[in-house]
Amino acid sequence: MTMRSHPPPIINEHQPKVVHPDRPTQTAWLSLFKRIVKNANTRYGLLWLTGGLLFCLFASDKAVLSQFQLENGTLLGGPVEIPLTVNLRQLNSITNGLAQVQEGAAAADTNEPVPYSFYIDEIEIKESLEKYFEEQANKQIFEKTLNIVCVPKARFQVIPVERCTATIEGHLEAITVLQFSPNGKLLASGSGDTTVRFWDLNTQTPFDEYGRAHRHWILCLSWAPNGKMVASSCKQGLIGLWIGATGKQHGTKLLSGHRQWINSLSWQPLHLNGSCRLLASGSKDTTIKIWDTHLFKTVFTLSGHTASVTCVKWGGQNLLYSASQDRTIKVWRTTDGVLCRTLEGHAHWVNTLALSTDYVIRTGAYEPSKERASDEYDHLDESTLQTLASERYEKVYKLFDTNGGERLVSGSDDFTLYLWKPETDKKPLARMTGHQQLINDVKFSPDTRLLASASFDKSIKLWSSRTGAFLSTLRGHVQAVYQIAWSADSRLLVSGSADSTLKVWNIEKRCLLFDLPGHADEIYAVDYSPDGQKVASGGKDKVLKLWRR
């Protein structure tokens, strides 16, 4: 039996196919047709005819029967015929029209077009269907209907940073960690000089008040998703709490309980608790502690790991994920501290974890694409913030399938990454290989579509977050890549390296966009502000640098 390969299934070239989608109103279909004719090449059209039948008419010579669907499996109408010559602009017009028809006729006149990217079997359509099939000439195609997955892009576009606008002194030793607040207005940094500093991004100067209670190197820093508080931890195993808006200490003492230093901090998500009251910490002493930051006491101590806990992540379904040098990842229930399951597979230390919902959990109620001024969030009550955060989280949670689900990725000293569905399954979805040295950092893009991993092998690799398939290698650094950060629109990636440079990468073209020298030594920490306006970096040269467009 011979297998049929290229070209794709072709519909009769002269007789248009009749298909039967869900039947919207005639007004909605006419509005859709007008929109497509207005915004796309008029070599084809979608017509609403008597009896509720959808015809696709073409002037091009070849057409393919296609089913448009969202990435969670939701179908956009029924199958439609489109020409192989259809380009991205035309695909966007069709998809927006189908989505508006599905939402209702009223939406067609009020909604702004959403930009989409399109995938067939996890491979992106770059120019046209015709070009896609030319590039996939060796691929066997058995489907009678071509499934095109439509992935919405951010409506806004982040302009890449390209110059250093401030070099701010203040720390007396290397800057080990830094992070923007959820709305991007404030910045906190931790240093080997034992202090936590807060920076006014308008005047580009440090706050007069800053955290001086620690007596050892600051190793971790984390903003609460409501933007009210910052937690820091030091090599002594103590946790400090600071008021984000002023830099003053919250309470009068540091949280103590760990016997060795703390490697990771993670706050309770805003959509689960409007005050973000609880905080998780993972330590070299092999334990995880959950703290009540209002009462300054331990709620749970989670024991089970047999070596240093390297990373903790608080998920959006009241589950806590912990990685360890014992080569395992454990899943805990935060409501009662019960161990749900242990994920095994790595052959060496697990260094880092990333959740598909990390970005939406980190930014809480703040939505970069909204026109609402970022300081307006400061005046909303806890209940409103929690509701806004919950709405944002649910949208991201349901991206992978209609029932929802978080994805977890782990990076290890064994040079591999594993992709997991940790809420329900102990077996990995994929094992990702290709790095030649240990993996130091991994992050999901804010739209959850891509994974980026940074390694001591001087490279950054991009992967599909759905299948774990390798997509591309970004090369340019000449020493180990320590940390990476995504722009809010998922179109840009910034990386910091031991070679003392920052690099900004164009993700669509998979290429270097800007090389940003300026630091005098290794860069340990880098972050992209959630509003997309700026990048902050710090490292061994003790100075904080701000980069803007």
Structure tokens at 235: 């090599």
The enclosing domain of 514 has a CATH number of: 2.130.10.10
**What does the pLDDT look like over 364-411, one tens digit per residue?**
999 886 655 556 667 788 999 999 999 999 999 988 766 668 999 999
**What's the full length of the chain, in residues?**
549
Residue 148 sits in the same domain as residue 209: no
Task: Report yes or no on 307 lying in a domain.
Answer: yes
Residue 142 sits in the same domain as residue 167: no
Domain boundary among 128, 152, 176: 152
* pLDDT of the residue at 525: 98
Residue type for position 399: L
**What does the pLDDT look like over 245-277, one tens digit per residue?**
999 999 999 999 999 999 999 999 999 999 999
Q: Alpha-carbon distance 214 to 53, whole Å?
A: 71
Q: Alpha-carbon distance 537 to 523, whole Å?
A: 7
Residue 7: asked if its preceding bond is cis (omega within 30°), the reply is yes
Which strand (E) or helix (H) includes residue 240?
strand 239-243
Helix (H, G, I), strand (E, B) or coil at 91: helix
Domain boundary among 91, 122, 152: 152
Task: Report yes or no on 10 lying in a domain.
Answer: no
Residue 126 sits in the same domain as residue 190: no
Instruction: Give Cα 357 distance to the centre of its chain.
Output: 7
User: Which residue from 248, 249, 299 is spatially nearest to 278, judged by alpha carbons?
Assistant: 299
Residues 6+ apart with CB under 8 A from 546: 164, 165, 166, 168, 201, 204, 534, 535, 536
Residue 96 sits in the same domain as residue 124: yes
Tell me the mean pLDDT in the region 291-319. Answer: 97
* pLDDT of the residue at 359: 97
Half-sphere exposure (Cβ direction) of 467: Cα atoms closer than 13 Å: 9
CA dihedral 536, 538, 542, 547 (to 10 degrees): -30
Residue 171 sits in the same domain as residue 124: no
Task: Report yes or no on 2 lying in a domain.
Answer: no
* pLDDT of the residue at 51: 32
Q: Alpha-carbon distance 536 to 483, whole Å?
A: 12
Local confidence band at 37 (pLDDT 50, 70, 90 cut-offs): very low
* pLDDT of the residue at 472: 96
Task: Indicate whether 115 pLDDT > 50.
Answer: yes
pTM beyond 0.85, yes or no? no
Please tell me what DSSP assigns to residue 269: P
Pure H helices in 104-183: 105-110, 129-135
**What does the pLDDT look like over 223-243, one tens digit per residue?**
999 999 999 999 999 999 999
Residue 40 sits in the same domain as residue 170: no
Residue with tokens 């008419």: 57
| 151 in Cβ contact with 503 (< 8 Å) | no
Residue 347 sits in the same domain as residue 390: yes
| 320 in Cβ contact with 332 (< 8 Å) | yes
* pLDDT of the residue at 44: 40
- CB atoms inside a 10 Å sphere around CB 163: 10
* Pairwise pLDDT comparison (122 vs 244), residue with the higher score: 244
Task: Indicate whether 18 pLDDT > 60.
Answer: no
Q: Alpha-carbon distance 400 to 442, whole Å?
A: 19
Please tell me what DSSP assigns to residue 128: B
Class of residue 437 by CB neighbours under 10 A (exposed 0-12, middle 13-18, buried 19+) = middle
| 297 in Cβ contact with 279 (< 8 Å) | no
3-state helix, strand, coil in the chain (%, to 5): 15, 40, 50
Q: Alpha-carbon distance 376 to 520, whole Å?
A: 38
Residue 204 sits in the same domain as residue 344: yes
Pure H helices in 146-213: none
User: Which residue from 509, 510, 518 is spatially nearest to 541, judged by alpha carbons?
Assistant: 518
Order of all β-strands in the sheet with 492-497 = 481-486, 492-497, 502-506, 511-516
Task: Report yes or no on 46 lying in a domain.
Answer: yes
Share of the chain above pLDDT 90, in %: 64
Enclosing domain of residue 137: 18-152
Residues 6+ apart with CB under 8 A from 15: none
* pLDDT of the residue at 125: 87
Residue 90 sits in the same domain as residue 188: no
Q: Alpha-carbon distance 172 to 184, whole Å?
A: 25
Tell me the mean pLDDT in the region 5-29. Answer: 42
Tell me the mean pLDDT in the region 425-448. Answer: 97
Q: Label the pairing between strands 328-333 and 339-344.
A: antiparallel
* Pairwise pLDDT comparison (35 vs 76), residue with the higher score: 76
Domain boundary among 152, 184, 210: 152
Q: Alpha-carbon distance 147 to 118, whole Å?
A: 10
| 351 in Cβ contact with 457 (< 8 Å) | no
Residue 232 sits in the same domain as residue 103: no
* pLDDT of the residue at 99: 82
| 85 in Cβ contact with 130 (< 8 Å) | yes
Tell me the mean pLDDT in the region 159-181. Answer: 95
Task: Report yes or no on 201 lying in a domain.
Answer: yes
Task: Report yes or no on 1 lying in a domain.
Answer: no
Task: Report yes or no on 446 lying in a domain.
Answer: yes
Residue 137 sits in the same domain as residue 204: no
Q: Alpha-carbon distance 137 to 464, whole Å?
A: 21
User: Which residue from 192, 129, 88, 162 is spatially nearest to 508, judged by alpha carbons?
Assistant: 88
Residue 110 sits in the same domain as residue 220: no
Task: Report yes or no on 490 lying in a domain.
Answer: yes
Class of residue 408 by CB neighbours under 10 A (exposed 0-12, middle 13-18, buried 19+) = buried
Order of all β-strands in the sheet with 18-19 = 18-19, 53-58, 44-49
Number of domains into which the chain is organized: 2
Task: Indicate whether 7 pLDDT > 60.
Answer: no
The enclosing domain of 115 has a CATH number of: 3.10.20
